[in-house]
Structure 1
Amino acid sequence: MKISTRFSDAIHILAFLNIYQDTKLSSENIAASVMTSPVVVRRIMGALQKASLISTTHGSPNPHLAKDPSEISLLDVYYAVEGHKQLFSVDPKTNPQCIVGGNIQKVLGRYYQETQNAAMGRLARITLDDVINDILVEQSKKEDK
């Protein structure tokens, strides 16, 4: 099973839009940074626009953040590109006659929900501004070497 990178790619795109806001922001240029196709970038940007996180003008390579980075939480980004899907899922096809198979769904369901709540709470407290600042700090460290 392939794990989706839409969430991290969406954060990447948003940070790119902010850091490179004074340059040509075509989907080709953004895709070169993400190392994906411009089609994937446009698809993710469509979801971000639908969630009112970015603004775009059709035919113009000038997308920009619709809000200040400090007002965009990673949870906002997650919901924009992944919806409200669960982080984990329990296999629904287990043997109800087995001690493990008959109880694992209920038991894991509780743990998974607890973990989901904790993860979503943490994502709600991290802003795009936090990510951008950390990117700039990391880049500064590279330049100081």
Structure 2
Amino acid sequence: MRVSTRFSDSVHILAFIKIYQDQRLSSESIANSVETSPVVVRRLMSILRENGLIATKKGTAEPKLAKNPQDITLLDVYLATEGERQLFTLDTNTNPDCIVGGNIQKVLGTYYEDAKMAALRKFNSVSLQDIIETILVEQKAKEHNIH
């Protein structure tokens, strides 16, 4: 099973739009940064637009954030891009006659739910502005050869 990167790619796109807001931002230039196809970028941008996170004008390379970056949380982006997907998936094909197989779903399910809620609470406390500022700090460190 392939793990989805829609969430991280969407955060990438939003940060890119803000950091490079004074430049022409075609889906090709964004795709070059994400290292994916322009079609994938356009699909993700469509989801972001439908969820009120970006504003676009048809036929132009001028996407903009629809809100201030401090008002966009990682939870907003996660729910827009991955909202219906399970964060963790249980194997439901286990042997019910085995002590482990007969109990693992209930036991792990409880821990998975706790971990999911902790992750979602963390996502809700981190803004796009936090991500952008950290990206810029990391870039400065690179420029000064600090690893």
Cross-structure match for 2:107? 107
Distance 1:42 1:94 in 2: 40
Distance 2:125 2:55 in 1: 23
How far is 1:20 from its partner?
A: 0.4
Q: Which amino acid aligns with 1:105?
A: Q
Cross-structure match for 1:78? 78
TM-score, normalized by length of structure 1? 0.97
> Whose strand fraction is larger, Structure 1's or Structure 2's?
1
How far is 1:2 from its partner?
A: 1.8
Cα offsets for 1:34-62 (capped at 9, x unmatched):
11100000011011111100001111111
Q: Which amino acid aligns with 1:116?
A: K
Q: Which amino acid aligns with 2:68?
A: D
Q: Which amino acid aligns with 2:87?
A: L
Partner-residue secondary structure (3-state), 1:57: coil
Mapping 1:15-34, distance limit 5 Å: 15-34=15-34
Distance 1:95 1:141 in 2: 52
How far is 1:7 from its partner?
A: 0.9
1:95 equivalent to 2:95? Answer: yes
Distance 1:142 1:58 in 2: 36
How far is 1:139 from its partner?
A: 1.1
RMSD: 0.9
Q: Structure 2: which 5+ runs fail to align?
A: none
Q: Percent identity?
A: 59
Q: Which amino acid aligns with 2:17?
A: L
Q: Which amino acid aligns with 2:5?
A: T
Distance 2:130 2:109 in 1: 32
The list of structure 1 runs, each at least 4 consecutive aligned residues, that deviate by more than 3 angstroms after superposition, is none
How far is 1:86 from its partner?
A: 1.9
Distance 2:107 2:38 in 1: 43
Q: Structure 1: which 5+ runs fail to align?
A: none
Mapping 1:1-145, distance limit 5 Å: 1-145=1-145
How far is 1:4 from its partner?
A: 1.3
